[in-house]
Amino acid sequence: MVCGYNGFCSIQDVDRLYPPSCGGALEVIVSLVPIGEPRRKITVASLREKKLHHEPITCLTAYDYSSARLVDEAGIDIVLVGDSLAQTMLGYENTLSVTLDEMLHHTRAAHRGVTHALLVGDMPFGSYQSDPSDAVRNAARFVKEAGAEMVKVEGGEKRADLIRRIIDAEIPVAGHIGLTPQSVNVMGGYKVQGKDLSGVEQLMRDAVALDRAGVACIYLEGIPREVAAMITAEVKTPTIGIGAGPDCDGQVLVFHDLLNLTFGHPAKFVRRYADVGAAITGAVQAFRADVTARHYPSDEESYHLPRETRAALDTVLERKRAMRR
């Protein structure tokens, strides 16, 4: 029996499989039992359980109500309101320009669309680098004002003490090491990290420091597969990779990359599952053509006066025409 992703059959499913000639839905619904567990709310504890049981963790970015709801309803474990929205949603050159208020605005919108997934808010550049007390206050704003259940902070060893401060304030934290976009100017561009021995050793130290600090998960971005596998085996914390190979505990992609809603050349690790960009362009072009040719809207797509109102209006118009003669 084919049912919904939550493991339960709907009345519509039953009606399709058991038409009235076979008794119909109402006659068989009493004998139905769930074919699987109902979908559970994903929590920080859920991520640890998934690593323990070798269940891959799924994560996608989403930046507004519609995308977050679609991602959540598709069964994704984590919705990340990433600072990548600086480029995908706001058209900035990089992630350094997006403000805390902009991140909170988009996180609030995504929160309204999420029911089961774990919602993570990405702390933007400048919101945690200067003063630990400010960092804790800003992290609290993600939880209190925007509905985030976790915040993401870039950096390894050098952020460990700060991350402990945030966690001590009862706010779960996701770490992020490797290619950290907020450090693009220091790195000299978007370059794969950990390609030499010293780089590998630093990544291992970063991962262990975050693990000991108590982060809920660690995002590994732009590092060799072999290094990501070593980190994943070394730490108890779940790892989520993006451009880090298949051996992480989970994977994340940018929503717009997955659907080809971006305008540049994709990174090597991006797999495009649909060409939504082309579909949108085609739909908009078709709309423009229909309007230009006066094919839209049709009579069927228009509202009409009730017959009585139309008759009364015709009478009024006829009287006005008669007065002009």
Catalytic positions: 221
- E runs forming strands in 209-262: 217-221, 239-242, 250-253
* Alpha carbons within 13 A on the beta-carbon side of 70: 10
> What's the rounded Cα separation, in Å, for the pair 123 and 277?
28
- Listed in sequence order, the residues at least 6 apart from 310 whose beta carbon sits closer than 8 Å to its beta carbon are 304
Question: Which is it for strands 250-253 and 57-61: parallel, antiparallel or unpaired?
Answer: parallel
Region for 295 from its dihedrals, namely left if φ exceeds 0, alpha if ψ lies in -120 to 50, beta otherwise: alpha
Here the contacts of 30-35 (C-beta below 8 Å, separation 24 or greater) are 34/7, 34/8, 35/1, 35/3, 35/7, 35/8, 35/9
CB neighbour burial string for 93-114, b if at least 16 within 10 angstroms, e if fewer: ebbbebebebbbbbbbbbbebb
Check if the beta carbon of residue 100 is closer than 8 Å to that of residue 134: no
